Homo-oligomer: A and B are copies of this chain.
Amino acid sequence: MKPGDRVLCLVSGFFSSRFKDMVLRAKGVPKVVERLDGRGFMGKEVEKLVKRDNFKAIAIAHVETSTGVASYIDEIGEVALKHGVKLLVDAVASLGAMDVRVDKWGITICGSCSQKGIGAPPGCTLIAVNKQFVEELEKRDHDVPTFYGDLKMWLNVVRDPENYHSTQPTSLVYAVDEALNMIFEEGLENRFKRHEVIAEAIRAAIRASGLRIFAKKGFEANTVTTVHKPDNLDSVKLRSEIECLGVVIARGSGPFRYTTFRIGHMGWITPSDTLALVSSLQLTLRRMGCNPKRDMVKAALEVLASSTLR
């Protein structure tokens, strides 16, 4: 990105709200469209925004980790390709658990991490860029402000690992390599399906409890579920009580820090993990006097039983 470039920043929660700050630091001009009502972004509306302005790039999170909201990157990629706009996708909370197609979807730069859908420890940034962008990088005649984050310098290492740019977190690179082996052993389609079924089971359990899911229908991520917290429920206590049962859930994030809690369900989660989670949550809610409306475990079990997931 060059100073003055206009970037369409599509915001569906705390993490995508950071795009604006990053664009400003790079002396770009952000145009922020924020939507915090549980809906993600779709192709048609993004096309309208793109037609109205002269954007160099669109920045979007595939799954917004803070709200559990997913956007339709496939549709938005079509729009980006059609209008010649670069597409920058944060796939932090989707890669390795939900389908992400860099080339087919017209993604210019796709960034992710080692610790979520990939299921290795945190500490590695994974970046994919498309061929056209590699060509542009090679021709680039100005330096970007950051030395270690300069993708042009990384090209030399990618092409020949004998070249050096900076020391790699070797132990984590081995961990990511092994996680990728395990992912391909499971099979990508199986893996996406597993995440889909488990996410649906958890959502069924939340619906059975009477609590409300943050993400609106059609925008639910299969990796994380954000739940609206009822006013009478102490979420700090909820988190510590369920932790006593061996289950960790996360607090809300950003503007929803005090009004939601989050359930992560990505990576190596199994049906039995899912049932452990759902039953622990049901028990904890009961103990805290927040009685679930219907049986949460039964609701989750029904989803799991109707699938072929083992």
Contact = CB atoms under 8 A, between A and B. Distances in A.
Contacts of A103: none
Contact of A123 (B25, B26, B146, B169): B169
Nearest to A123: B169
A218 interface: no
Interface in A278-309: none
A145 B143 contact: no
A209 B113 CA distance: 48
A145 B113 contact: no
Most buried by B among A22, A147, A172: A147
B25 A146 contact: yes
Contacts of A172: 121, 123, 169, 171-172
A167 interface: yes
A253 B26 CA distance: 32
Contacts of A21: 143, 147
A168 B25 contact: no
The contact size tier of chain A is 20 to 34
Interface string A121-162: 111000000000000000000011111010000000000000
A169 B22 contact: no
A270 interface: no
A168 B124 CA distance: 10
Interface in A242-285: 253
Nearest to A169: B123
